[in-house]
Structure formats: structure tokens, C-alpha cells
Amino acid sequence: MTSHSESVRIQSERMLVQSLVNESVPAFLGNAYRLHLEIAVGRSVADIVAVSAGRTSAMLRPLTITQSVALSHLRQRFSTRVDVLEKLCGEERYSFRLGALDPLYEMGLIRRGKGGSVSIASKSAASQMVVAFEAKMHRWTTALQQAASYTKFADLVYVVLPSEAAQIAIRHADKFFAHRVGLLVENRGVLHEAVGPSRIRQHSWQRDFVLSRLLSASAAPK
């Protein structure tokens, strides 16, 4: 029997993304992921971002950029004085002591200590696997450039190309390796990994910023 993806030829990036969401990516990743479309990150928009179910996250609502930056610094340092954290984040003196970080305390993400110290309390973000996809019909160099920016928040990043366009990109696998981005070939609704991505373990503040939005959206009542 001919499947829907075989009977309908993909003719646009929009159709490609829809096919990926409906069939290809769930089959590739498994059912333990929730998919999100068109996630804005800086000046780029990731076509698809998949977040693993993982354990229940402490992130109950979206974080601001300031809160995300503060949390990112604490993940790197584990603990520091709150006045030092203000300087690291470029915030005015006393801003973190006058309520700016209250949501992080309330969600149990950070905690106060002795002598004005503040430390990371929950590593829940590290327990979530984030996979980002950038799909293009032809422009593999543009796709790779955009996908490379997703390494700031995602653990695994892929460019997805139809089989014909992918053949050219495969000849430049070294460029994908250099950016730690994988390449998936889409063929009749099935994804084949032509270049494996590198697991990203160091992220910017965008990790907490993006993840908090995706997790809170997943938890919101339908």
C-alpha cells in the first residue's frame, strides 16, 4: 500500500516541515518527545524543536532574559554571592536583592545561602533532551548556518534535506562536523542520518530561556 507521504510529492519547505512533524521526526526520535514549531531564538527561527518528556521540570512558567542569564551563570559556577551575580549579568546593584530573582526561588531553581550567597538548586534542565531541526529544500549552506546557532540551546542539532539536495551537502560533511551539526536525508517520509551530530554539553543562557517556554507551553491546559 502506498503511504500518504509517498503519494504526495513534497514541493515546498512548508510541506517538508509538515511531513516531518506528522511522520518523520516522531518515527526518528520515538514517542518520548513533544514537538514545537517555529521557535524563535535570537534572529533565527528553528523549524522544529523536540523536547524529551524526561522527569517533571521545575520550570513552571517562562523565564525572562535576565532570569535566564542569571540561571546560566549559576549552572556554570554552582554558587556565588548575589552581588557578584548582579555584576556578571550586567544588572544594577541590589536589583537581584529586590525581587528580580523571586520567580527562580519560587520555582525551586535556585536557593539562598549564608552571607548573601545564591546557588543552583535544581538541575532539571539538564535532564531534558532538546533536539532542533532546520529543514530546507535546497539551500544547505543557509540551513547549516541557521542550525549552527541552535547549538546555543539544543543538545543535538540537525539539518534536514530531501534526498536529491542532500547528495550535494554530503560531499561537504566536514562543514557539518565543524559546526557539530548532523545531516538527515528525507526520503519518502523516512529520515536517514547521513552525518551524525555532536552532543552539545555547554549552552548559553538561551537554553533556559527557550526550554522554560517550551516546558510551560507543554504543561499549559489545552
Domain range summary for the chain, segments of one domain joined by +: 4-54+128-195, 65-125
Element (H, E) at 50: strand 44-52
d(CA 96, CA 106): 14
Q: Are 111 and 122 in contact (CB under 8 A)?
A: no
Q: Are 24 and 185 in contact (CB under 8 A)?
A: no
Task: Write out pLDDT tens, residues 116-131.
Answer: 889 988 665 556 889 9
Task: Write out pLDDT tens, residues 98-118.
Answer: 888 898 998 888 998 888 889
Task: Write out pLDDT tens, residues 124-169.
Answer: 555 688 999 999 998 899 999 999 999 999 999 999 999 888 999 9
Residue range 4-54+128-195 in CATH 3.40.1350: yes
Q: What is the pTM of this model?
A: 0.84
d(CA 40, CA 29): 22
What is the pLDDT, as a whole number, of residue 195? Answer: 96
Q: With helix as H, strand as E and coil as C, how does 148-208 read?
A: HHHHHCCCEEEEEEEHHHHHHHHCCHHHHHHHCCEEEEEECCEEEEEECCCCCCCCCCHHH
Q: Are 80 and 62 in contact (CB under 8 A)?
A: no
Q: Treating both helix axes as pointing N-terminal to C-terminal, what angle do 65-77 and 206-219 enclose, rounded to 10 degrees?
A: 120
65-125, which class in CATH? mainly alpha
Most confident of 91-95, 153-157, 186-190, 215-219: 153-157
